[in-house]
Structure 1
Amino acid sequence: MRGNITVTEGALATILGLAAHEVPGVVGMSPAGIRESISRILGKSEASEGVVVKPDPAEPGRYQVDLYVVVAFGARIPAVVDSIAERVRWAARSLAGAELSSVRVHVVGVSRG
């Protein structure tokens, strides 16, 4: 019998960031805020970069997720975004036991990779 398992928002953000990186067409993640931008300038990059996880106030026990991604030039952006959302929902549920109420993918750049 298992006891209570708690996955922190930081751990969930890391899982979701790694899952998003696995999607073909994703070149990388972009800093989501000033703190992440400063960390990147200082040479500190983390798997959770570009991922913002917040508890959903309207649906207790569920999370709202925003991902800030850079896609490969020539990739079909709508298909990449759909794949990211699907992969992230799967990772949250399967790997962390978390349910997401919303997944918003923000394409903030295009790169030749």
Structure 2
Amino acid sequence: MDDADKREFMDGAEAVPGGAGTEGRVRISEDVVAQIAVKALSGVEGVKPASPGLMANLRLGRKTTNGVRITLSEGEFPEVQVDAYVAVRYGLRIPDVCWDVQEAIKEQVERYTGYAVRAVNVFVQGITFQEDQDDGGYDDAPSFVEEE
């Protein structure tokens, strides 16, 4: 989405439909953006959300939702930074899977929010080894992987 598209989107979002001359702003919650990112993450083959590690367990830093942490920058054209914490299925090439995660999250967040995605950082926190046909190809999650 280029700057002209962002301006057009945000200009359309400024006016409140049906409010004669009423102007306002549309802001999307970090939780909503996180849900969109988690949904995109779940669509990538061979990936499961993982725990972000010690910092989140101690409740330090920003809140993490199902392996995704969102940072929204305020401004005329809000930008989103996404940190995705994942476990990758054994046997898959990790850089390729991470690329797929980045592309899926970026595409979905930009499509549904209109916000520009500044960065999608992928942190591989673990590997899943055994396959179980009933669970879509995943074993019972190790301790570092959050259950859904």
1:22-101 superposed matches below 5 A: 22-26=43-47, 28-32=48-52, 33-34=56-57, 48-56=65-73, 61-101=78-118
Provide structure 1 residue ranges, at least 5 long, that are not aligned to the other structure: 37-47
State which structure, 1 or 2, has the greater radius of gyration over its C-alpha atoms.
Answer: 2
Task: State how far apart, in whole Å, the 1-side matches of 2:58 and 2:37 are.
Answer: 19
Aligned match of 2:8 = none
Aligned match of 1:43 = none
After superposition, give the CA deviation of every residue in 1:22-45 in whole Å (9 maximum; x if it has no partner).
00111x111221168xxxxxxxxx
The normalised TM-score by structure 1 is: 0.77
Task: State how far apart, in whole Å, the 2-side matches of 1:73 and 1:97 are.
Answer: 35
Are the structure 2 counterparts of residues 102 and 22 from structure 1 closer, same or farther at C-alpha, using a change threshold of 3 Å? same
Confirm or deny: 8 A CA contact 1:25 1:71 kept in the other structure: yes
Are the structure 2 counterparts of residues 31 and 20 from structure 1 closer, same or farther at C-alpha, using a change threshold of 3 Å? same
Confirm or deny: 8 A CA contact 2:49 2:86 kept in the other structure: yes
Count matched residues: 101
The normalised TM-score by structure 2 is: 0.60
Are the structure 2 counterparts of residues 6 and 57 from structure 1 closer, same or farther at C-alpha, using a change threshold of 3 Å? closer
Aligned match of 2:33 = 12
Task: State how far apart, in whole Å, the 1-side matches of 2:120 and 2:28 are.
Answer: 18
- Quote the RMSD (CA, aligned, Å): 2.5
Same amino acid, percent of matched pairs: 27
Q: Which has the higher contact order (CA 8 A, sep 6+)?
A: 1
Residue identity matched to 2:71: K
Report the 3-state secondary structure (helix = DSSP H, G, I; strand = E; otherwise coil) of the residue aligned with 1:31: coil
Shift in Å at residue 6 of structure 1?
Answer: 2.8
Confirm or deny: 8 A CA contact 2:51 2:125 kept in the other structure: no
After superposition, give the CA deviation of every residue in 1:14-73 in whole Å (9 maximum; x if it has no partner).
1101101100111x111221168xxxxxxxxxxx31111112479961011100001111
Are the structure 2 counterparts of residues 58 and 97 from structure 1 closer, same or farther at C-alpha, using a change threshold of 3 Å? closer
Confirm or deny: 8 A CA contact 1:64 1:100 kept in the other structure: yes
